[in-house]
Amino acid sequence: MEILRDIQALRAWREAREGEGKRVGFVPTMGNLHAGHMALIDNARRRADAVIASVFVNPLQFEDPEDLARYPRTEDDDIAALEKAGVDAVFLPTETVLYPHGQDDIARVDPGSLGTRLEGSVRPGHFTGVATVVTKLFNLVRPQVAVFGEKDAQQVAVIRRLVGDLDIDVQLAIEPTHREPDGLAISSRNRFLTAEQRRQAPAVHRALKRAAESLAGGHTVAATLAGARHWLAQQGFEVDYLVYCDEVRFEEQTRLVPEGRLLVAARLGRVRLIDNLAVHTPQAEESAD
């Protein structure tokens, strides 16, 4: 596996793959790799001849400096895991490599109103930071296919919007959320849970499943969401949001839509967990006819 730390090396690697006529698959990450990331890599390997990952904790998408400071950085382990997974190259830029003019007064990519809802309202500027770094990485890597995880469903929608509105020539592949046997979505943030919080954490996924069942059982969206928020609070969570949205604009819906999604963000102490579940109910399909 080639380790590429600057733009020149990355461009040279990319040009060599072009010369070989290889289809390049890309998996952007912020490191601290876990089974969920490995599934993204496997997905890319199925779709491409050469796979490159990036590991970069992007300061532009952190609105809270403390959150940025304590984000786990595990470069040696990440390199070993990528090598083992058969990745062909890893791009490991520093902040100076990606933001040589600092971060204060640079051109940014605004993902529109989609980026201001839900995660974007709790974390203002987050999706502008994501859209900016992903655009930069796409311009540098020029992949034919890029793989993202469904766990960050709103991020996926932002990237779809970005690719569509800015005519970026890349195919997107979305890998389903990987879960622990008890349903907890695998995330780099899980390592911050205490033993007690780890026991509580699967309630996030359970709340979504209960809500999906409630909708399928004919309960109203309002009653379902109120019940789910109440239940999650009873399990010890502070709920940032638990909503039902359409899959494209991520606007909250009060009635079932053909392609809807339940999304939740909830805190256990200082650990913030997010999760989501697609809801495809027969009622919505009938009302869509």
Tokens at 136, concatenated: 């930069």
175 or 215: CB nearest ligand PAF: 175
Tokens at 284, concatenated: 């919505």
Cβ distance 160 to 52 under 8 Å?
no
219 or 272: CB nearest ligand PAF: 272
> 21 — alpha (psi -120 to 50), left (phi > 0) or beta?
left
- Strand segments (E) across the chain: 2-4, 24-29, 50-55, 89-91, 145-149, 171-175, 238-246, 260-268, 271-279
User: Is residue 29 at the binding interface for ligand PAF, with CB under 6 A as the rule?
Assistant: yes
48 or 221: CB nearest ligand PAF: 48
Q: Minimum distance from CB of 233 to ligand PAF (Å)? A: 28
Task: Name residue 153's amino acid.
Answer: A
The footprint of ligand PAF on residues 256-285 (CB under 6 A) is: none
Among 34, 37, 205, 230, the one annotated catalytic? 37
56 or 244: CB nearest ligand PAF: 56
Q: Minimum distance from CB of 91 to ligand PAF (Å)? A: 11
Q: Which of 4, 30, 85, 203 binds ligand PAF (CB under 6 A)?
A: 30
Cα gap 88→71, rounded to integer Å = 26
The footprint of ligand PAF on residues 40-69 (CB under 6 A) is: 58, 61
Q: Minimum distance from CB of 130 to ligand PAF (Å)? A: 5
Cα gap 92→97, rounded to integer Å = 9
Cα gap 32→47, rounded to integer Å = 24
Locus of tokens 């026991």: 199
Binding mask 122-141 for ligand PAF (x = CB under 6 A): --------x--xx-------
The closest alpha carbon to 141, from 19, 28, 20, belongs to 28
The closest alpha carbon to 54, from 15, 92, 7, belongs to 92
Q: Minimum distance from CB of 255 to ligand PAF (Å)? A: 31
Active site residue 126: no
Number of chain residues interacting with ligand PAF (CB under 6 A): 10
Binding mask 147-186 for ligand PAF (x = CB under 6 A): -----x--x-------------------------------
Q: Which residues bind ligand PAF (CB under 6 A)?
A: 28-30, 58, 61, 130, 133-134, 152, 155
Active site residues: 37
